[in-house]
Structure 1
Amino acid sequence: MNVFDLIKDSRKEIAVGVIADIINAALCVAASLCLSSVLKAAMQGNWRNCTVYILLNGILYLIASAFEYLFTYEKNRVREHGLNKYRTLVSGEIENAKSQFNADKYISSLNNDSVQVDDAITTVFSLIDAFAFTVFGIIGLVYLHWSILLGSVLIVLATAFSARILQPLSRKNEQRRSTALETFYGRISDLLNGYHVFHAYNQKPVLNDLLTNRSKEFESNRRIINNRMKQYELIPVIISLLGQCGLMLLTVYLADKQFISISNLLAVGNLSGMFNNYVGVFFSEIVKVDGYNAIINEKCHSFEKQKLQAEQFDSCDIHIHDLFYSFPDKEVLKDLTLDIAEGSKNLIIGPSGCGKSTLLNVLAGNLTDYHGDVFVGDKNLKNITDYSIHDIVGYIQQSAYVFADSTRHNIDLYRLCPDDEVKEACRKSLVTEFCDETKLDDSVKSSELSGGQKQRIALAREFVSDHKIILFDESLNALDPVMTEQILNYILSLPQTVIMVSHKYTEEMKTRFDQIIELH
C-alpha cells in the first residue's frame, strides 16, 4: 500500500489536473517568450506592437492562473478521495478491536497520520507540477539559446499590500477550518464514546459507516475551504503579474529615452529561474514520496480488517466450572461453579464488591483473563470470538450510553428495524413516557436526558435485538418503583435467558425468579 494506491481511484481528477498543469506551464513559458517580442518591438521603436505584446503577456499569465486554479481544484478533490480511503482503512481498527477500544489512538491516526497522507498526496501533485514546468522550461531555454544575461526587477509592494488586505479574510477562512475540524472530531468522539454499545450488539460495521460518512462531510467542507484559500492566494499572484506588465512598460519607456539597452534578458531570466527552481523541486519531491510511501504502507498494513462471522451454539445453557477472578488488590470470584438453564430467570445478589458485575462481564466476553471454564452450550467462551458471544448475549449496564442522534437510531443502531418493533420496544421500556412515538426521529442529546431516561432507551435497544441471553447490571436502578415493576414484569415474561444483578430487591421479588445466585 502506498500513496498511489490511495489515489488510483481518482484517475479522472488526476488526468484533468495534469492537463491543466501542462497548459499552465505552456502558457507561462509562452508569456516569458512574449517578452522577446516586447523587447524586439521596443528596440525597433514600434511602440504599438510593444504595447500589444505586453498586454498579451498579461493575458497569458491571467489564463495560466485560471488553469493553475483548476489544477489546485482537482488536487484538492484527489486529496479528499485519498483521505477518505485512508480513513476507511483506519476504521478497520474499530472492527478488529476487542471489548476495550483506544479512542485516543484512533483519533491520533485520523489526525496525525492523515496529515502525513495529505502531505503525501500534495507531494505527488508537486511532483507533477515540477515535471511539467521543468520540461517546458527546457523547451523555452532551447528556443532562447542566443540570450546571454538575466535581468529582472520584481514588483513586491503591491503584492505585499494586497496580502495584508487579505489577511482578515484569510483568518476568517482559517476559523472556518478550525470550526470544521472541531465539529468533526467532536462528532466522532461522540460516536466512539458509544463504541461498547455498537460492539455489544455486533454493529461495529455500522459505526464504521457512520464515521466514514462524518469523514466525507468533513472532507467536503475542507475542500471548499481550501479552494477559497487558493482564491485568496491567487490575488497577490495576479497583482504581481500585472506589476510585471507595468515593469515592461516602464522598461520600454526607459529604452525610448535611451537610459538603458534592452535585449531578451527578462525572458531568459524567467525561464532559467523556472528551470532551476523546478528541477530542484522535482528531485526533492521524489525523495519525499518515497518516504511517505514507507509510512503509509506501515500504517495501512495494521488496519486490515478481520473477517467477522458468528459461530453456532447447540444450546444456550450456561455452565461455569471453578471460575476464579481477581483484581490486583482484591479477589472477587473464587471457585464459582454454576449452571443456568436456557430460558431461565436468574437474580444475582450479594454485597458490594463481591463480583456480581465481574461475573456479568465474564459472560459478556468483556473479561477474558479469568481462570476456570465458562461454557455456553458446547462452546467454551475462551475459544470463540467476542463477535460470536455478542451474537447471542446482550448486556445492559448501569450507566447507559446515548449518542447525539435520533431516539430511533439510539435504539436500532441504524439496523433499520421495523417501525412497529421499535415502537413496541419503546412502549415496553416506557420510552414513550418522555418521547412520543411520532417524535422518534427527532434528535436527542445525552445531556438533556436523566439517568432513568437513558436506561429506558438502553432497555428498548435490547428489546429490539434477538439475543438469547440478556444480562442486566443494575439496569433498573434509576427508575421509580412503579416503572421498575412494569418493566420487570415484561423482562420476566421474555423467552430469553435473563440474568439480573440488583441490590434493590424484596423477598417477594426473589420468588419471581427461577434461581437466586448469592455471591459473597
Structure 2
Amino acid sequence: MNFKTFYRTNRLRMWVIAFSSLMQPFVLIAAAYLNMLEINTLRDHNKKAWLIIVLASLLGYLLSNFFDMVSNYLLATHIREFNQQLRGKILRHLYDEKRTYQVAEVENQLTNDLNMVNDQYFNLLPTICNFLGYIIFSVIALLTINWTLLVITLLTVLCSIFLPKLIDKPIQKAMENVSLKNSQYLDLIEKWLSGIAELQRYAAGEHLMKVMHVGAKKLEEAKLNQTAKQQVLSIITGSISQIMIFALFVWTGVLIKGHMAPFGAIAVIGNFSTYMSIGIEYLPFYLGLIKGTSSLRDKITAETLPVREHSETEIHESPYAFRTKDLAVKFQNGETLKFPDIEVKYGEKILLTGDSGAGKSTLFKLILNFLAPSSGQLEFMNQAGEIIEPDLTKIGYIAQDPILFPSTVKSNITMFNDQLDGLAEIVGQNMGLTDTSSFAQGLNTEINLQKLNISGGQRQKIILARAQVHDSNILLIDEGTSAIDQTATLEILQQLLQKPNTVIFIAHNFNERMNSMFDREIHLSK
C-alpha cells in the first residue's frame, strides 16, 4: 500500500490532480505578484494598466478556487475506488488464508486502519503538491524582486525540513498505538454487547458501563497522545515559520530603502511570506504524518498480498476416512485433552458421545484443522485406504451454532452455487423447508438475521440440507438436530444415514431407536 499502487488506480486522474494541485498556488501567487505591479501603477497614476491588473488578479483568485475544487473532488473519487480495490484484496486474503478471525479485528482493518491511512497519507498528497507550489512559486517571485530574499528563504526551508525528523518515530509509534487501542475497543464492544440481554437479565449494567468506560478511556488516551506528538511537531515548524516572516519583512524594507527592490514589494511581501510560511510550516509537518503511517501501510499491504497457493507437486485429495494416534491438545489454561486412538472407515455411521468437556467438539476442530494438536498424529485416507494429503474443504461440518447468511433459504443451502438449485429443491422438500406455512415464499424466502424470522429448528434444517446438497465424503455433525423434534430428527437421520458417505454425529439426547441407526458409538471421557 504505497503511492505507486495508489497512482496506478487511475494514472490520468492522478496527473490531473497533481496539475490542479500545483496550479492552485501558481495562480494565487501570480495574483499576489500582480498586486505589487498594481501598487506601482497607482503610484504612477496609470489607471488603464491598473484596471487590467485588477481584473487579471481577480481572475487568478477565481482560478485558484476552481483548481482547488477540481483537485478535492477528483481525489475523493480516486480514494473511493482505491479503497474499494483494497477491501476486495483484504477480503480475498482473509478468505484464502483459511484461518479464524475475530470480527472486531476485520472491522478495524476494513474501516479504521484504511481511514487513518487515507487521512494521514493519501488525502495529504495534493496538499503537499500545494505546499511545494507555494514554496517554489514564492521563491521564483522573490527571486525576481531580489535574490537575497531567496537566500533567507532557503536557510529557513533547510531548518524546517531537518528539525521535525527528531519526532518522526514518536509520531509513528503513537499512530500504531491508536490502531491497536481501536482494535481492542471494537473487540470489547463485540464481546460485551453481544451478550447485553444476559447482562440486563442479571442487572449487571454497572459492570458493563465500567468495562466499556475503561476501554474507551484507553482509546482516547492513545488519541490524545498522538495529538500531543503532532502538536509538538506543529510548534517546531510554526516557530521557524514566524522567524522567516520577521526576517523577510525587515530585509525587504532594507532593500526598498536602498533602491534594490520595487516600492510595491513592501505591500505584497506579506503575501509571499504567508504563502512561504504555509509551505514551510505544513510541508514537513504533513511529511512527518505520512512517514508515521509507514508501519500501518506495511501491515495493510501484508493483508492484501495473495495467499501462497499450493504448488503443483502438492496434490490434495478428497478424504474418505481417517485415524488418530496419541492425539492430544493442550490449552492456554494448562488443561490437556487426550483422545483414544480412533480409526473411522469410509461409509461408517458413528455416534460420538461423551461427558461435557470430554472433547467431542474439540475433536472435530482438530479434524478440520481449526485447532492444531499439541502432540500425536491425525492421518487421512482415500477410498482405497491410502494415506493422503487431505483437501479439508471436502469435509462437511455442521457446528452447534449454525451459520446463516442474510440471503434466501435456497442460497443458504446451495452456498450461492446456482448449479445446485435443483438439488436444493429436492432436499428442501424432504426437510419440509418448502412448506409455505413455515416460509411464506418457500426456499426463496429472505432470511433476516436481525429480526430472526426463522426458528432454531429451521436453522438446523437449513444447515442439514446444506450438508446433503454438497454431499461431502466425510460429514461431521455437532448437535445438528438439538432444536428439532424427535419425529423430524428421525426422518432426517434416515435420509442422512442411508447415503454412502462417512458420518460422525455428536448427540446426547437420542432415544434407543435413533442410537440403533448408527454402526457404532465412540464414547469420550475426561
Gaps of 5+ in 1: 149-184, 194-261
Tell me what 1:275 maps to: 276
Mark the CA change 1:512 to 1:147 in structure 2 (over 3 Å): closer, same or farther.
closer
Q: Which residue of 1 aligns with 2:413?
A: 411
Change (3 A) 1:35 1:406: farther
The offset of 1:283, in angstroms, is 4.3
Inter-CA distance 147–45: structure 2 relative to 1 (3 Å threshold)? farther
Q: CA deviation at 1:404?
A: 2.9
In the alignment, does 2:81 pair up with 1:76?
no
Cα deviations by residue, 1:278-319 (Å, 9 ceiling, x for unpaired): 244444444544443454235524653323458434861222
Q: Which residue of 2 aligns with 1:342?
A: 346
Tell me the residue number matched to 2:486. 481
Query: How far does the alpha carbon of each residue in 1:366-400 deviate from its partner, in whole angstroms, 9 at most, with x for none?
Result: 23225333222069xxx998xx5532211101211
- In 2, the alpha carbon distance for the partners of 1:93 and 1:314 equals 24
Q: d(CA) in 1 for partners of 2:50 and 2:296?
A: 54
Contact 1:397–1:475 under 8 Å retained in 2: yes
Secondary structure of the residue that 2:342 maps to in structure 1? strand
Q: 2:135 corresponds to which residue?
A: 134
Give 3-state SS (helix, strand or coil) of 1:359's partner: helix
State yes or no: 1:493 paired with 2:498: yes
Instruction: State whether residues 2 and 294 of structure 1, in contact with CA within 8 Å, keep that contact through their aligned partners in structure 2.
Output: no
Q: Deviations over 1:5-28 (max 9, x none)?
A: 343333222101112123323321
Q: What is the match of residue 124 of structure 1?
A: 125
Q: List per-residue Cα deviations over 1:445-478 (Å, max 9, x = no partner).
A: 2541321122122223323324211111111010
3-state SS of 2:397 partner: strand
What is the one-letter code of the residue matched to 1:431?
L
Picking from 354, 370, 376, the partner of 2:380 is 376
1:117 and 1:273 map into 2 onto residues whose CA distance is 29
Tell me the equivalent position of 2:470: 465
2:524, 2:87 → 1: CA distance? 46
Equivalent residue, structure 2, for 1:316: 320
Q: Hey, what's the Cα distance between the residues in 2 that align with 1:65 and 1:96?
A: 47
Q: 1:503 to 1:18 in 2, by over 3 A?
A: same
C-alpha separation in 1, matches of 2:46 and 2:113: 59
Structure-2-length-normalised TM-score: 0.67
Distance 1:477 1:359 in 2: 19
- Give runs of ≥4 in structure 1 deviating > 6 Å: none
Equivalent positions of 1:106-185 (< 5 A) are 106-118=106-118, 119-145=120-146
Aligned to 2:249: none
Deviations 1:87-122 (A, max 9, x none): 445446524655532333333333443244211112
Alpha-carbon distance in 1 for matches of 2:380, 2:86: 39
- CA 1:26–1:290 in 2, change beyond 3 Å: closer, same or farther? same
Give the secondary structure class of the aligned counterpart of 2:9.
Answer: helix
Q: Work out whether 1:361 is the aligned partner of 2:365.
A: yes
Match of 2:307, SS state, is coil
Distance 2:492 2:449 in 1: 24
Distance verdict in 2 for CA 1:50–1:441, change over 3 Å: farther
**C-alpha displacement of 1:30:** 2.8
Q: CA deviation at 1:509?
A: 1.8
Q: Secondary structure at the match of 2:396?
A: strand
Change (3 A) 1:299 1:398: closer
Provide the rounded CA distance (Å) in 2 between the counterparts of 1:112 and 1:384: 43
Q: Which residue does the alignment assign to 1:445?
A: 449
Distance 1:392 1:72 in 2: 50
Partner Cα distance (1:464, 1:438) in 2: 17
Q: Which residue of 1 aligns with 2:65?
A: 65
> 2:433–2:442: 8 Å Cα contact kept in structure 1?
no
Whether the 8 Å CA contact 2:481–2:489 is kept in 1: the answer is yes
Secondary structure of 2:100's match?
Answer: coil
Which residue in the other structure is 1:36 paired with?
36
Secondary structure of 2:482 counterpart: coil
SS at match of 1:320: strand
- For residues 141 and 521 of structure 2, what CA distance do their matches in structure 1 show? 91
Distance 1:366 1:284, change over 3 A: closer
- Pair 1:476–1:63, CA change in 2 (3 A): same
State the distance in 2 between where 1:374 and 1:283 align: 58
Distance 1:305 1:95, change over 3 A: farther
Contact 1:320 1:375 in 2 (8 A): yes
Partner Cα distance (1:432, 1:13) in 2: 52
Q: Using the alignment, how far apart are the partners of 2:330 and 2:275 within structure 1?
A: 71
CA distance in 1, matches of 2:89, 2:318: 36
Per the TM alignment, residue 442 of structure 1 is displaced from its structure 2 partner at its CA by 3.1
Q: Does the C-alpha gap of structure 1 residues 384 and 290 become closer, same or farther in structure 2, counting only changes over 3 Å?
A: farther
Contact 1:147 1:264 in 2 (8 A): no
Structure 2: give runs of 5+ residues left out of the alignment: 150-185, 195-262
Change in Cα spacing, 1:114 to 1:320, as seen in structure 2 (3 Å) is same
- Contact kept in structure 2, 1:397 and 1:472, CA below 8 Å: yes
Question: How many positions carry a matched residue from both structures?
Answer: 406
Deviation at 1:409, TM superposition (A): 3.7
With normalisation by structure 1, the TM-score equals 0.67
Per the alignment, do residues 377 and 147 of structure 1 end up closer, same or farther by CA in structure 2, a change over 3 Å counting? closer
SS of the residue corresponding to residue 405 of structure 1 reads coil
Q: Tell me if structure 2 keeps the 8 A contact 1:6–1:86.
A: no
Relative to structure 1, is the Cα distance of residues 445 and 109 closer, same or farther in structure 2, using a 3 angstrom cutoff?
A: closer
Q: Give the direction of change, closer, same or farther, for the CA distance of 1:353–1:291 in structure 2 (3 Å limit).
A: closer
Paired residues of 2:351 and 2:520 also in contact (CA < 8 A): yes
Judge conservation of contact 1:344–1:498 (CA < 8 Å) in 2. Answer: yes
Percent of counterpart pairs with the same letter? 21
Structure 1 residue 44, shift from structure 2 partner? 4.4
SS of the counterpart of 1:505?
A: coil
Residues 342 and 352 (structure 1), Cα distance of their counterparts in 2 relative to 1, 3 Å cut:
same
Structure 1 residues 100 and 283: alpha-carbon distance in aligned structure 2, compared to 1, 3 A threshold: closer
Contact 2:319–2:382 (CA<8 Å) still a contact in 1?
A: yes
Q: Secondary structure at the match of 1:270?
A: helix
Contact 1:17 1:71 in 2 (8 A): yes
For CA contacts below 8 A with separation 6 or more, give which structure has more relative contact order: 1
Change over 3 Å in CA distance of 1:69–1:295 after alignment to 2: same
Shift of 1:340: 1.9
Following superposition of structure 1 onto structure 2, how do residues 195-344 of structure 1 map, counting pairs within 5 Å? 263-293=264-294, 295-297=296-298, 299-301=300-302, 304-309=305-310, 311-313=315-317, 316-325=320-329, 328=333, 333-334=338-339, 336-344=340-348
Q: Hey, what does 1:352 align to over in structure 2?
A: 356
| In 1: Cα distance, 2:511 partner to 2:14 partner | 71
Shift in alpha-carbon separation, 1:21–1:326, aligned structure 2, 3 A: closer
- Change in Cα spacing, 1:143 to 1:464, as seen in structure 2 (3 Å) is farther
Match of 2:159 in 1: none
Do the aligned residues in 2 keep the contact of 1:395 with 1:471 (CA within 8 Å)? yes
